[in-house]
Amino acid sequence: MSKYHEVANISFTNTDLHLTVDGTNYSFPFSEVSARLLAASQMERERYEISPSGYGIHWPLIDEDLSIDGLLNIQHKPSFAKQRAA
């Protein structure tokens, strides 16, 4: 299985999610990415799982999932569009 992203150094303040993706540091206000994370306790935020492929992050205690591509606003072309362009 190929990795989508290398996700590391996830941390939280009262208002923001901080993480490193593919060697670049990012910060995201909870208010812009997840109402559930905004309302969660620090303990609920700190209980997360990074998908083995690096595709996303899951918080089981609040049933929240965020895709890394969604956070970074990355859009991929469908594979059939790539084939037509070739």
pTM: 0.83
DSSP codes, 3-38: -S--EEEEEE-SSEEEEEETTEEEEEEHHHH-HHHH
Residue 80 scores a pLDDT above 60: no
- Tens of pLDDT, residue by residue over 14-24, are 999 999 999 99
List pLDDT tens digits, range 23-70.
999 999 999 999 999 999 999 999 999 999 999 999 999 999 999 999
Strands 64-67 and 56-59 come out as antiparallel
